[in-house]
């Protein structure tokens, strides 16, 4: 069915009522240049351990959204804004006591909220247009969300690869509603990065390897959220006090300096998660972790990986008050935490001017070595006892 243009106005109104600030329309097509760029990204293994990003069938669906649903005619791209970080980047990265959780994770998990809102919008569309085929997607589906957002005019893709809106900046999350109704498409977005490369310059790990291309292997967001293993020693010092995600490339972006705090933030930021005290996190046992982050996206990362990040942030802080705390997790049941606590202690002892491993720490490590059977923890012990 071909539908009149002003129906889009009604749909936008519904979208707004459901908590979406932006609602734009495009055909279910990905441009050749985006398909090629996706292939190149996969060929260069920039997806790191996120194997699903390279799975053949999912890759094909990413490149051709029309294969996601029979009879799809229109993709409705939607954005839900969230509150920007309520602190400056300098203030956050210079703290010696606190860790940084990315702004989108200061409140509730957007996946849950956005899915509910998209389904409610789909019900409205059935009432408006008559019962028809629809599907909703948020984040995890094989949908190239940035490319569709750009095609629909919702936002352009910045050099940090994120979607930016002229007025709202990039502090927003994306979702899509695929429908069999043929609604007129909006005009493609125009880009406004110009000659700026501030995001590429500020990135602590130089993960934006070329304009529009992020190598996940290097990105702190990937390392702290998605990656569950031992973090490469050379990357640890670059992670600073980022303990969940990273907003540096967005915080520096000139388009975000003009962005207003949204009137309503359905993710409702929670004070506890805004620059949390590192010390308050290191002693969370499994139950306390689940309780503390039960509504937050942080729960998806799990206790072991979060506390691994906390250990790294403590090591990077130069705050030697953390030494006793780190000693107390050397017998944690999670090898990941033990391994990174050893690294952090070695760094903090250096800050104290006690060389690589002062005598008391050496004795502790020698004792640990006799009972440790995890190879990764043993590697960390060796790196301190016999540095190369
Ligand atoms: C995998 C993934 C990640 C990975 C990889 C990131 C990446 N850039 O690929 C990791 C874990 C690192 C990550 C991190 C983050 N993510 Co993420 N992530 C995704 C996910 C699931 C897929 C992205 C993807 O397809 N990557 C593959 C690459 C090839 O795609 P691409 O980056 O869009 O690349 C395009 C460009 O390179 C373009 N291109 C190439 N050359 C050129 C040249 C020109 C001129 C142009 C215009 C374009 C262009 O072509 C490519 C294909 O379209 C999406 C959700 C989704 N389903 O889309 C969320 C998503 C992108 N993430 C999101 C967020 C919020 C983040 C973080 C900000 C979280 C945080 N605060 O820590 C960081 C930001 C890091 C960054 N700078 O990208 C949001 C972005 C919202 C927004 N405003 O844009 C999304 C859309 C989730 C959502 N539903 O809201 N993420
Ligand atoms: S999220 Fe952080 S590490 Fe990743 S590209 Fe942006 S600034 Fe770099
Ligand atoms: S910091 Fe500059 S280059 Fe990067 S996304 Fe923003 S405007 Fe574009």
- The tens-digit pLDDT sequence of the chain (388 residues) is 556 657 999 999 999 999 999 999 999 999 999 999 999 999 999 999 999 999 999 999 999 999 999 999 999 999 999 999 999 999 999 999 999 999 999 999 999 899 999 999 999 999 999 999 999 999 999 999 999 999 999 999 999 999 999 999 999 999 999 999 999 999 999 999 999 999 999 999 999 999 999 999 999 999 999 999 999 999 999 999 999 999 999 999 999 998 888 988 889 888 899 999 999 999 999 999 999 999 999 999 999 999 999 999 999 999 999 999 999 999 999 999 999 999 999 999 987 665 666 888 999 999 999 999 999 999 999 999 987 7
Asked if residue 20 is part of any domain, the answer here is yes
Pair 171, 39 in one domain: yes
Pair 54, 161 in one domain: yes
Cβ 154 under 6 angstroms from ligand 1: no
Find the domain containing 135 and state its range: 7-82+107-179
Q: How far is the CA of 163 from the centre of ligand 3 (A)?
A: 10
Asked if residue 92 is part of any domain, the answer here is no
Rounded to whole angstroms, how far apart are CA atoms 388 and 181?
Answer: 64
Asked if residue 33 is part of any domain, the answer here is yes
pLDDT at 151: 98
pLDDT at 323: 96
Pair 161, 287 in one domain: no
Q: How far is the CA of 71 from the centre of ligand 2 (A)?
A: 38
Pair 169, 285 in one domain: no
Asked if residue 322 is part of any domain, the answer here is yes
Rounded to whole angstroms, how far apart are CA atoms 73 and 27?
Answer: 6
Pair 157, 21 in one domain: yes
Q: How far is the CA of 103 from the centre of ligand 2 (A)?
A: 13
Q: How far is the CA of 345 from the centre of ligand 1 (A)?
A: 35
Asked if residue 131 is part of any domain, the answer here is yes
- Domain total of the chain: 2
Last residue of a domain, one of 179, 209, 232: 179
Best residue for ligand 2 mutational test, from 48, 200, 206, 220 (most atoms within 8 Å of Cβ) = 220
Q: Which residues pair with 77 in a beta bridge?
A: 24, 176
Asked if residue 115 is part of any domain, the answer here is yes
Last residue of a domain, one of 159, 179, 199: 179
pLDDT at 263: 87
- CA-nearest residue, atom 52 of ligand 1: 34
- CA-nearest residue, atom 1 of ligand 3: 253
pLDDT at 353: 64
* Phi and psi, residue 278, nearest 5°: -60, -40
Cβ 259 under 6 angstroms from ligand 1: no
C-beta of residue 63 within 8 angstroms of C-beta of residue 35: yes
Last residue of a domain, one of 119, 153, 179: 179
Q: What ligand is nearest to the CA atom of residue 203?
A: 2
Instruction: List, as one string, the DSSP characters of 95-137.
Output: -SSB-EE-GGGSSS-HHHHHHHHHHHHHHHHHHHH-S--EEEE
Cβ 251 under 6 angstroms from ligand 3: no
Asked if residue 289 is part of any domain, the answer here is yes
Q: Which of 379, 279, 352 is nearest to 360 (CA)?
A: 352
Pair 173, 284 in one domain: no
Rounded to whole angstroms, how far apart are CA atoms 346 and 99?
Answer: 20
- CA-nearest residue, atom 4 of ligand 2: 219
Pair 146, 12 in one domain: yes
Rounded to whole angstroms, how far apart are CA atoms 174 and 276?
Answer: 26
Q: Alpha-carbon Rg of the chain, whole angstroms? A: 23
Which residue numbers are catalytic? 139
Asked if residue 247 is part of any domain, the answer here is no
pLDDT at 356: 60
């Amino acid at each position: 069915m071909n539908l009149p243009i002003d129906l889009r106005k009604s749909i936008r109104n519904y979208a707004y009522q459901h908590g979406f600030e932006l609602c734009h329309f495009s055909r279910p097509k990905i441009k050749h240049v985006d398909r090629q760029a996706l292939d190149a990204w996969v060929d260069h293994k920039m997806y790191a351990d996120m194997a699903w990003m390279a799975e053949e069938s999912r890759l094909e669906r990413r490149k051709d959204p029309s294969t996601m649903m029979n009879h799809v005619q229109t993709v409705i791209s939607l954005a839900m804004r969230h509150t920007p970080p309520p602190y400056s980047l300098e203030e956050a990265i210079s703290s010696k006591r606190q860790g940084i959780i990315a702004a989108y994770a200061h409140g509730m998990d957007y996946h849950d909220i956005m899915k509910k809102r998209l389904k409610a919008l789909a019900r409205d569309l059935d009432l408006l247009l008559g019962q028809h085929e629809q599907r909703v997607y948020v984040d995890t589906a094989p949908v190239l969300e940035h490319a569709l957002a750009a095609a629909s005019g919702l936002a352009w893709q910045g050099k940090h690869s994120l979607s930016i809106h002229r007025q709202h900046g990039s502090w927003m999350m994306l979702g899509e509603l695929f429908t069999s109704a043929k609604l007129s498409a909006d005009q493609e977005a125009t880009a406004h990065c110009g000659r700026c490369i501030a995001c590429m310059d500020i990135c602590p790990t130089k993960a934006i390897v070329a304009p529009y291309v992020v190598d996940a292997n290097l990105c702190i967001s990937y390392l702290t959220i998605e990656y569950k293993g031992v973090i490469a020693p050379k990357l640890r010092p670059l992670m600073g006090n980022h303990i969940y995600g990273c907003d540096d490339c967005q915080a520096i972006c000139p388009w975000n300096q003009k962005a207003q705090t949204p009137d309503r933030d359905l993710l409702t930021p929670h004070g506890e998660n805004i620059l949390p005290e590192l010390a308050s996190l290191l002693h969370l046992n499994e139950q306390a972790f689940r309780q503390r982050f039960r509504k937050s996206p942080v729960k998806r990362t799990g206790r072991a990986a979060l506390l691994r990040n906390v250990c790294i942030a403590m090591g990077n802080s130069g705050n030697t008050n953390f030494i006793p705390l780190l000693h107390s997790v050397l017998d944690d049941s999670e090898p990941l935490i033990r391994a990174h606590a050893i690294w952090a202690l070695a760094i903090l002892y250096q800050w104290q001017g006690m060389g690589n491993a002062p005598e008391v720490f050496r004795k502790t490590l020698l004792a640990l070595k006799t009972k440790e059977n995890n190879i990764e923890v043993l590697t960390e012990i060796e790196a301190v006892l016999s540095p190369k």
